[in-house]
Amino acid sequence: MKFQVLSLISHAPHPLTGRLPSPADRFDEVIEVGVAAERLGYDAYAVGERHAGAFLSSSPTVVLGAVAARTSRIRLLTGVTVVAILDPVRVAEDYATLDQISRGRVELVVGKGAEAGHFDLFGLDEERQWDLQREKYELLRRLWTEENVDWEGEFRPPLKNVTTVPRPYDGAPRVWHGSATSLNSPELAAKHGDPLFTANAIQPRSAYASLIAHYRERFAAYGHDPARARVAAGSGGLLIADTAEQAVARYKELYEAKVVQTFRPDLAGKAGYNTPFRTIEDAIADGPQLIGSPQQIIDKLLGYHEVYGHDLQSISVDGFGLARAEQIETLQRFAEEIAPVVRRAAPSTLWDTP
């Protein structure tokens, strides 16, 4: 298995102390953690995109460009690029530029996003979100794989003889489709023979397993080789302690305060927004959160792999308000005590060859 570190660049007061870092300090932290992730041997570093809520990730290309300038090996992903609200021409230009600067290390994860408010912000109809997603992604594909593109669709003016510049560094970057609650993203990924990136962040395992199963079934139905169906999975945050008891004692108040802080009453009952794992004991036992001893986390990751068959596991260390030093310490423990065991037990050929 390969491993990625993801930041959504959350920017909310600490759930216990109320401390809120400045935006500049928060960006510095995200960039430094990305540099540390490369040093510690992680395969990829990802930055999300949010245009509403307590986040600073409205310009992921800028942040990833800063990470690219400080690194040389680690792949740079998004989590997700909200292509449904963006102009595909601009997406093609911006990420091809980043791909050139990083010398071919860019991969996109595209999705319609987890914040409903961004459709209003960009003057778009949320009820058409999947139509927007499909049309804009399919135009992006063409812009990266073709030159002199003629195109006409519903959601932007027609294009005539368009070649976006710069071109990507070495062919079109790989594009994953982010999937959290709907079959639309797995279907679009399967249609085009693209990989699937399941959120695996809030809901029970069975919900994500059904999305992956649909993807694999439809991938084959569209005539693609099932062996080429790549899957990645997120997680609900990482907190490591020496024992299960220490994990509960050390993080219970923090975890449960964060659950209260992030609860969205306006989205109560809507899948994919409010976690049902409201106590740390529930999260450890049944949730996608990676909380506990190294062995507990190894067992959970391999349990997910048994069901998902995934190649790439994403982890996050900045969602609960840990200080920068503790984030990096957590990444180091994971890299030294957990990742090697999981890599051996669940090997993947993702990124092993060009």
Range of the domain at 208: 2-345
Helices (H), 122-164: 129-145
Is 352 a domain residue? Answer: no
Average pLDDT over residues 15-30: 98
Does some domain include residue 86? yes
Q: What is the pLDDT of residue 264?
A: 82
Instruction: State mean pLDDT over 290-310.
Output: 98
| Residue 350 placed within a domain | no
- Asked if residues 16 and 321 have their Cβ atoms less than 8 Å apart, the reply is yes
Enumerate residues 6+ apart whose C-beta is below 8 A from 209.
307, 308
Choice among 51-55, 137-141, 185-189 with the minimum mean pLDDT: 51-55
Residue 5 clears pLDDT 90, i.e. is over it: yes
Confidence of residue 321 (pLDDT cuts 50, 70, 90): very high
Average pLDDT over residues 245-256: 97
CATH number at residue 94: 3.20.20.30
pLDDT band at 271 (very low <50, low <70, confident <90, very high): confident
- pLDDT value, residue 77: 98
% the chain with pLDDT above 90: 93
The pLDDT tens digits of the residues spanning 79-92 come to 999 999 999 999 99
Predicted TM-score of the model (pTM):
0.97
> What is the model's pLDDT at position 164?
98
pLDDT exceeding 70 applies to what percent of the chain? 99
Split into its structural domains, the chain has a count of 1
Position 272 confidence tier, pLDDT thresholds 50, 70, 90: confident
Contacts 24+ apart (CB under 8 A), 268-275: 271/181, 271/203, 271/207, 272/114, 272/180, 272/181, 272/199, 272/202, 272/203, 273/114, 273/202, 274/202, 275/202, 275/236
Contacts of 342 (CB under 8 A, 6+ apart): 1, 298, 301, 302, 305, 313
Does 312 reside within a domain?
yes
Average pLDDT on 113-142 reads 92
- The pLDDT of residue 114 is 74
On whether residue 306 sits in a domain, the answer given is yes
Confidence of residue 274 (pLDDT cuts 50, 70, 90): confident
116 confidence band (pLDDT: 50, 70, 90): low
**Does position 153 have pLDDT exceeding 60, yes or no?**
yes
What number of residues does the chain have? Answer: 354
DSSP string covering 276-339, please? S--SHHHHHHHSS-EEE-HHHHHHHHHHHHHHH--SEEEE-SSSS---HHHHHHHHHHIIIIIH
- Of the listed ranges 35-44, 186-195, 248-257, 259-268, the least confidently predicted one is 259-268
pLDDT given for residue 320 in this prediction: 95
**Residue 353 forms part of a structural domain:** no
Spatial distance between the Cα atoms of 196 and 186, rounded to a whole number of angstroms: 7
Task: Please report, as a single letter, which amino acid is at residue 244.
Answer: A
* CA gap 220, 154 in Å, rounded: 30
- The per-residue pLDDT for 353 is 66
